[in-house]
Chain A
Amino acid sequence: MSHDIPEEKLPEAHDASHGHEVAEHGDPFADPGLPAHEPRRTDIDERAAKRAERQVSLMFIVSMLATIGFIASYVIFPIDKIIYVFPLGHISALNFALGLTLGVALFCIGAGAVHWARTLMSDVEMPAERHPIEADDEVRNDVIEQFKTGAAESGFGRRKMLRNTLIGSMALVPLSGVVLLRDLGPLPEKKLDHTNWIEATEAKPIQLINMNTNQPMKAEDIEVGSLTFAKPEGLEESDEDFQQRIAKDALMLVRIAPEDIKDAKSRDLGFEGVLAYSKICTHVGCPISLYEQQTHHALCPCHQSTFDLSDGARVIFGPAGHPLPQLKITTDEKGFLVATGDFAEPVGPSFWERS
């Protein structure tokens, strides 16, 4: 191959061996200095250079074709067309075509530019000097002198009253900005202490409505070992404040054979073994949704806090700090499950003001 290349362009043969001589005589660990430049094939063989040029141009041409392909895909593929592509499965034809053509169009520009730089642009390494970041003493002293002059001329150090009042006013003025933030939201007051179940009283109980059927429930509707989600009567999905209310009011009903309920207080809060716990985890507020009927354990899928629903929702594993609050339930004259008051303690994650 190398016989094609003119003799005078070949790298000089003695380059490779020149490092050794120094080692024999002087310090073997001395810096031998920048190595000589080793020419690339494209530096010495014009045909190789031409080939590289064609390769680079080919990549740019592929990029152009891909962009045309992008525009064509945009026009041709309907947005709802789903195709099967192995091994990706059923995917959107438009997304697939647009992404690949855009990817190819961009990648080929990049690959072409990098190939150009690596084969055809000079790769001679050269040193550039660094200069210390620090200024020399003359500059430093000059600046300090200038600053002192400026400071003296301002009188900032000498006129104490002026200085102190300026500092005072500058310290106060951002307070306006802080005050303006007041209306970002209401004060917490007692908002977190209660849920909307507080509207229920002995005289005017509120029915528990099954989340799925949107109907009131009787104790016998709930099977032993099942988990049922409930909301207060009168709360509809179409309500303006549905999200805020359900974030606190959501209930999780379980039915446990009364003899299996270990906590007597918990048994009394329930009705014939139906227990109504807050669905909102006491850790950071995820809704608890996994239930193991054999053990009566409920698990929060977010951080795996596990509560024993047969034992007053005691925390048996995970990061939650206290049991799930339980709502006292009974039945109305028609036999539907109702609540007659609020939870005894705040639902959801704990907070500083929680007593």
Chain B
Amino acid sequence: MSSASSVNTDAKPSSGSTRAKPANKFEAAADWTDGRLGIYSLARANLRKIFPDHWSFMLGEICLYSFVIIILTGVYLTLFFKPSMAEVVYHGPYAPLDGIKMSEAYASTMNISFEVRGGLLIRQIHHWAALVFVAAMLVHMMRVFFTGAFRKPREINWVFGFLLLVLGMFDGFFGYSLPDDLLSGTGIRFMEGAILAVPLVGTYIQMFLFGGEFPGTDIVPRFFTIHVLLIPGIMLGLLVAHLILVFYHKHTQWAGPGKTEKNVVGMPLMPVYMAKAGGFFFLVFGIIAAISAIATINPIWAYGPYRPDQVSTDAQPDWYMGFSEGLIRVMPGWEVRALGHTLNLGVFIPLMIFPLVLVAIAVYPFIEGWITGDKREHHILDRPRNAPVRTALGAAWISEYLVLLIGGGNDLFATHFHLSLNSITYFVRAGFFVVPVVVFFITKRWCLGLQRRDKDKVLHGRETGVIKRLPHGEFVEVHAQLPQDKLYKYVAHEQQQPVAIPAQVDENGVERKVGRLEKTRAKLSQGYFGEGGQIPKPTAEEHHEITSGHGHH
């Protein structure tokens, strides 16, 4: 190919490639590909792309890698799993279930666990990776939240991430429902009851979803398609979009010497992050494989096949569904019966709060953007203490989540800690309203305290541990000024001023109407940035005054 093109160049310079002869076979292959896919311009922007280094930036990688592990192991499992509810009688190697009637879904999961060599391992890796996946997404999201990395221009990527979290949770639920064992069948029954509580359309959705009355024979094959095709397909698309945006926006970075809103400081993708991030995939996979070797997860043989009239005690969903379980457990059994209809509020209200708890995360960047009115791009991360209200809101959300998780495991907490189940339930009912408020105020005060300490360090330096006695007998501790790079870390952030409440009269003295929305926004802004919302940053003058006067303080 190369010789032909060079002949062309000589004969008719306008019609062929003017590129010099490639130096070796690798370059020749790259040239060939570039001629068809245009890889050079793509690679120029990305091959040595700079990524900043910080341990918290690898949380997203754990999500990505566990997703890949789930896909790899999931494909393997589909080779053996039979998504069918046809009844069979078990005669496999697991003696306790011999002669028991079960669905093909359950029987094939038994087959994977006891007859396919390595099948149990792959099943366990699949399940463990799913738990890690959702956990990593939640922690990754916390990192992004508490550092303000969701601010412009990354709000849309935040929403993509949120959708991945929600889809991941639901795909997990559909996945662990597939084996049709006693535990997962109970989960499906719970879902059926929740659907029935929906006013007007509940019974219709139930009949259409299950293909008739519970449990029917359609739900496992339908869940299978949703679990292996529909949701993963959507997730794959969102994941690619998420990653493209990470590349396009370039990664955020912490404030520090030489780091600005206009640059990104770090090391290049090739070779450093190819090795680090690529290697990290193997670390994640290796650890999950080792966990699956030593820790049993979802031993369906111990639960037995599903029967609607049987149940095991301490039935628990996988952890990420625990907070919805908490909602449903602690809700009082309110039921309104009137005009020939029943409104099952005891189930319907939790069913509505469940998405609200999640949507609160999704919309936060837009709410904060509206309150601050900040239209600039942000690439430098906030230290959580420097955004006390945001940090406090995030902490309040986490505390709400944990309270509900306690509610979801109220039976386990009761038996393990020898507490009254009823007391735990009453505590969660009150805690649902009280705990987030308390946590909000504690966290906010904590952040302000840390801001004060930062200010103190900047103005008075660090404590050296050297005690000096003054001529008149007073003992003082000698403080030493921070070096400038440390100093910069504490003062690099900017402090926003609250939006003023719009004047009731305009400049000509004419009264004008100030909307309620406008007033609310000004009040919220006051809460975020006003007095009590942040400690004023030390100024260079203050610093100068103190350092030029007396060295110790």
Contacts and interface: CB of A to CB of B under 8 A. Distances in A.
Interface of A: 19-20, 22-23, 27-35, 74, 79-80, 88, 91-92, 94-100, 102-114, 116-118, 121-130, 132-133, 181, 184-188, 191-192, 211, 229, 231, 237-238, 243-244, 246-248, 250, 279-280, 283-287, 289-290, 301-305, 315, 317-322, 348-355
Contacts of B189: 284-286
B373 interface: no
Contact of B264 (A121, A127, A321, A353): A127
Interface string B323-337: 000001111111101
B283 A111 contact: yes
Contacts of A116: 275, 279
B258 A127 contact: yes
A304 B411 contact: yes
B344 A349 contact: yes
Contacts of B329: 303-304, 318-319
A46 to B, nearest CB: 20
Interface residues of B, number: 125
Given A28-B544, A129-B262, A186-B207, A353 B312 contact: no
B454 to A, nearest CB: 12
Given A35-B258, A319-B329, A350 B344 contact: yes
Nearest to B283: A110
A314 to B, nearest CB: 11
Contacts of A20: 483-484
A106 B278 CA distance: 11
A349 B286 contact: no
A257 to B, nearest CB: 27
A319 B346 contact: yes
B345 to A, nearest CB: 8
Contact of B289 (A106, A127, A354): A106
A58 to B, nearest CB: 15
A283 B346 contact: yes
Contacts of A123: 267, 272
A321 B204 contact: no
B215 A128 contact: no
B249 to A, nearest CB: 7
B341 interface: yes
A35 B330 CA distance: 55
Nearest to A250: B309
Given A27-B540, A110-B282, A301-B312, A284 B328 contact: yes
Given A34-B258, A187-B204, A244-B213, A92 B333 contact: no
Interface string B185-196: 010011011101
10 contacts: A80-B114, A107-B286, A117-B271, A286-B315, A349-B193, A349-B196, A350-B335, A351-B206, A352-B343, A355-B337
Contact of B344 (A29, A30, A321): A321
Nearest to A109: B282
A34 B257 contact: yes
A118 B272 CA distance: 8
